[in-house]
Amino acid sequence: MNITELSLAELSEKLHGKELSSVEATKAYFEKINAVDGEIGAYIRLTESVALQQAENADKILAEGKGTALTGVPYGIKDNICTKGSITSCASKMLENFNPPYDAFVTTKMNAENAVMLGKMNMDEFAMGSTTENSAFKVTKNPYDITRVPGGSSGGSAAAVAAKEAVFTLGSDTGGSIRQPAAFCGVVGLKPTYGTVSRNGLVAFASSLDQIGPVARNVEDAAVVLNSIAGHDSLDSTSVNRIYGDFTAEMKNGVKGMKAALPKEYFGEGINPEVRAAVINAANEFEKMGVEIQEVSIPAMEYALPAYYVISSCEASSNLARFDGVRYGYRAENYADMDELYKKTRSEGFGKEVKRRIMLGSFALSAGYYDAYYKKALQVRTLIINGFNSIFENNDFIISPVAPTVAYKIGEKTASPVEMYLGDIYTVPVNIAGLPAISMPCGADKDGMPIGMQLIGKAFSESTLIRAGWAFENR
C-alpha cells in the first residue's frame, strides 16, 4: 500500500477500519517530504515531533472507535495562519522568529478533530504575490515541472498536495491565492464565501478580502475539510453566524436541470487559446450532463483588477503598519532615534513586493487622493457585486477560467509586476464580491501542464459548487 497516494476519504476509511495507524501514515508522509521537498520546496518548516505526538493521540482515539473524518490525517498549513508553539513567519524576515501565543480558529478546529500537522507551507511574503517567488526563504517549484512556478500566494499549499507531501493543506485567498496555485498544480482549491471561515489568527493582508480555505486532491476531500473549518467565531466580527450543515450532503445529487453562465468578459483578449478551449470543453461536458449554459455579461468586470489592487493595497498599508520594530517581529540593530528605527526596520524586514503594495496603498489613502482612488474602487466594488447578483437571478453557478495561462517559468514575470497582476484578472472579482468559488482541473496544455476551471456561486452556495464540481470530476 502506498499511503501517500490515498485520498483523504480513502485514508480516513483505513484509519477508522484499523488497517493503518496515524503514526504509520505520518511517518510515510515525512519520508515522502524528505525524499522530494528538497526539490519542490513546499514547506518552510516541519513540525515532526509535534506531528508524531498528535498521531499517537489520534491512534488512541481511533482505537476507541471514536474520531471524525480528519482524525489522524496528516495535513499542512500556510505560514500566515497562527500555530501556537510553531513559528508563523508569513515567509517574511519581519516575522521570522514570531512564535504565536495562540492558535488560529482553523488551527483550533484541526486540533479538536485530532488532525496531524506536518508543518508550515511556503508562500509569497505576507500573501502578496502570484508565484511564491516572493518568499524571504525559498522559491517553491511546480511538481509538474520544476522550472515553473506553482502559483501563489498559497504556492506551498498547492505544491504539497500535488506532490503528495500532505493529504490536504489550508491556504488563504485574498484575490485568488488558493484557486490560482491549485489550477497551476492540478489540484482542487476552494475559496469559501467571505465570513464562512473565521479569519481569527490569520495574519491580515486585506481584511475585507482574505478568506481561509482548503487545497485538496479532489472535490470530496475539499468538502470534508470545509465541514471542519466552517462556522461562527465570536472573536471575529466578520464571521457569519449561520447554520452551515454538511457540505457533502447533496454532493452526489447530480446537476441535471441546473443553469450555468459563461461571462464573455472571462473569454476575451489575453487568454491562452488552450485554456479557453479547455474551459469551453468543460462547459460542453456540463451541458451533456443536463446543465443549461448561457452566455452573459458583467460590464463592470474590466474595472475589477484595478479596483482590487487599490482596495487590497490600501488595506495592506493599514494592516502592516503594526510591524514597526517596537512591539514584536524584526527590529533593526543600529538606529539613532525612533524615526530611524521605523525606517530601517521596515526597509530591512519587508521584501520588494510588500513595500510596493504598502507605498501604493499609502498613496491611495493620502489626502487629496482618497476620493479619487479608494472611494472610487469601493464604488466599482458595488457595481461588481450587482453584476454578479444579476447573473445569479437566473443561474446556479458561473463557469470560467482560473487564470489566463498555465504555470509559467520561474523568473519569467518578476521584472514586470503589472503583467503578473494581470494574471489575477479572473479570480479577484470573486473576492471583491465576497463569493465562493472552486478551482479544479479541466485539462492540460500541449506540454502536459494543468489547466484549471473555476466555478463561482452566489453567497453561501458552496454545496451547489461542490455538487457541480463532484459531478464534473466523476462524469
User: Catalytic residue positions?
Assistant: 78, 153, 177
DSSP codes of every residue in 232-299: --TT-TT---S----TTTTTTS--TT-EEEEEGGGGSTT--HHHHHHHHHHHHHHHHTT-EEEEE--G
Helix%, strand%, coil% for the chain, nearest 5 = 45, 15, 45
In SS3 terms, 147-178 reads as: CECCCCCCHHHHHHHHCCCCCEEEEEECCCCC
Rounded to the nearest 5°, which phi and psi values hold at 451?
Answer: -115, 130
Distance (Å, whole) CA 217 – CA 215: 7
Please give the full DSSP string across 84-117, using - where no structure is assigned.
Answer: TTB---TTSGGGTT---SS--HHHHHHHHTT-EE
Answer for the pair 21, 98: CB distance below 8 angstroms, yes or no: no
**Residue for grid cell 511546480:** 142
Q: Which three cell numbers stand for residue 186?
A: 492540478
Count the alpha carbons within 13 Å of 272 in the hemisphere toward its beta carbon.
20
Task: Supply 293's cell numbers.
Answer: 449554459
Q: Is 27 helix (H, G, I), strand (E, B) or coil?
A: helix
Report d(CA 181, CA 169) in Å as an integer: 12
Phi-psi region of 201 (alpha: psi -120 to 50; beta: other; left: phi over 0): left
Measure the CA angle with vertex 95, ends 423 and 432; round to 5°: 35
State which amino acid sits at residue 368.
G
- CA-CA-CA-CA dihedral for 27, 31, 32, 34, to nearest 10: 130
Q: Phi and psi at residue 431, in whole multiples of 5°?
A: -70, -40
